[in-house]
Each structure stands twice: as C-alpha cells, then as structure tokens.
Amino acid sequence: MDRHVQVGIHELKNKIIEMGGLAEEAIALAVEGFLASSSQRAQDVKDIENRINRLHILVDELCVRLLATQQPMGSDLRFIVAVIKINADLERIGDQAVNVSGNAKRALAGRPLDLDTRNDFAAMCPATRDMVRSALDAFVRNDQRVAEKVLKMDDVVDGLKNAIFAKTIELMEQGTLGVKQGLDLILIARNLEKIGDHASNIAEDVIYATSGQDVRHPYSRTELKSP
C-alpha cells in the first residue's frame, strides 16, 4: 500500500466529510427557516454555500494532483473517481439549499404556512436530510448496505413530494392558496426532491467505490458494449 496515496485519500475523505457537514447544515438552516416562517437565516445559508463552493474547487484540485503524482490503482483509483462525482453532487446540494431558502422567502412573503402544509414539509424535510446524512455515513464507513438503504429512501421522498404536489394543486384550484405561494411551495418540494436525488447519486458512487460495481441505470445495461 502506497503511503503517499493513502495520505492523499485520507485528505480527500476529510474534505468530503467537511463538505458533507456543510451541506447538511445548509439544508437544516434553510428548512428550519422555512418551517419557522422566518427568512432570517437566508444569508447564513448563502455563506455556507460559499464555503462549499470553495471546497468544491479544492477537492477537484486535490483529485487531479493525486492522479498526476501518485498514479493510484484499483480501489484507490475508484475512490478518487467517485470523489470527483460526489464533489459535484455536494456542490449542487448546496445550490438547492440556497434555492429552498430563496423560494421559502417568497412563499412566506404571501402569508404564513397553513398547518397542513407545514406538517407535510415537516415530514419531507428530515427525510431528505436523512438521505444526505446516510449517504455520507455510507461514504465514511465504505458501507455498501447503508448506501443501498439510501437508494430505497429516495422512493419515500418522492412519495412525499407527490403528496405535497397533489395537495398544493388542489388548494390552488380551490382558490384557498394563492398562485404565487402555491408555486413557491411546489418549487421547494422539488428542491428537496433534487437534494434526495443527489444523495442517491452519492450512494451509487459509494457502491461503485467500495465494490467496483456500477449500479446506475440497471434497466439500460443490456448491450452495454454496443450502444
């Protein structure tokens, strides 16, 4: 085992853990502000996103440097390739947290959330955060089983999103909910769904890094070599 490669991989792992922590924090603050009908923390979310963006660039630089100087092989190489992709997903989770914040600010400008809608989001928000946390757990522990659980959690989040969509549309059609507010709520549900999608991508990359197995697009794997 090459010591230089291991030092580099250790550094990469720490940076991804740091980014992941920031991404979780950004989601938590954005969601907390939204559920508390407050936009006070919007600037904090933006600041965290900024730190994620700096790490985004730094992690890519570290990956390229490691590939260039150490020529890693086997599982080390797979780990670095996985990190290049996980890095991109974490950056986009940061973007989506900022979007939640922005859409929430507009959604709440109309009027506070009714209790029913608040409850729906109070279920969807932690489900989405759990996906991100579990995906990072899987990454930290190289744990394929946790990663597989994340992929299953995605169905739950999608179901919660569909329920919010359906209920919001109904309220908009009844005229109980204004068009602008309803739309912002729908966009927030979509932002959260996307965060879940990025967590799923991370889980797939963890499975790839740990097992060498590419589990993406299972339905389209036939005739892979002659597309």
Q: Whole-angstrom Cα distance, residue 185 to residue 168?
A: 8
The DSSP-derived string for 143-155 is -HHHHHHHHHHHH
Q: Whole-angstrom Cα distance, residue 32 to residue 37?
A: 8
The size of the interface with a copy of itself (CB under 8 A), counted in residues, is: 43
Q: Whole-angstrom Cα distance, residue 136 to residue 14?
A: 11
Closest-CA residue to 48 (of 32, 64, 30): 30
Q: Which of 38, 43, 71, 119 binds a copy of itself (CB under 8 A)?
A: 71
Question: Which positions from 131 through 190 interact with a copy of itself, judged by CB under 8 A?
Answer: 169, 172-173, 178-180, 182-183, 186, 190
Q: Does 223 bind a copy of itself (CB under 8 A)?
A: yes
Q: Whole-angstrom Cα distance, residue 129 to residue 103?
A: 18
- Is 186 in contact with 168 (CB distance < 8 Å)? yes
Q: Which of 10, 17, 38, 57 binds a copy of itself (CB under 8 A)?
A: 57
CA 160 to chain centroid, in Å, comes to 16
We find the least distance from the C-beta atom of residue 45 to a copy of itself, in angstroms, to be 14
- Is 140 in contact with 147 (CB distance < 8 Å)? no
Stretch that binds a copy of itself, among 35-43, 100-108, 119-127, 209-217 (CB under 8 A): 209-217
Q: Does 114 bind a copy of itself (CB under 8 A)?
A: no
Q: Which of 115, 116, 145, 219 binds a copy of itself (CB under 8 A)?
A: 219
Q: Does 32 bind a copy of itself (CB under 8 A)?
A: no
- Is 206 in contact with 139 (CB distance < 8 Å)? yes
Q: Does 25 bind a copy of itself (CB under 8 A)?
A: no
Under the rule (CB under 8 A), what is the footprint of a copy of itself?
50-51, 53-58, 60-61, 63-64, 67-68, 71, 73-74, 77-78, 81, 84-85, 88, 169, 172-173, 178-180, 182-183, 186, 190, 214, 216-217, 219-221, 223-225, 227
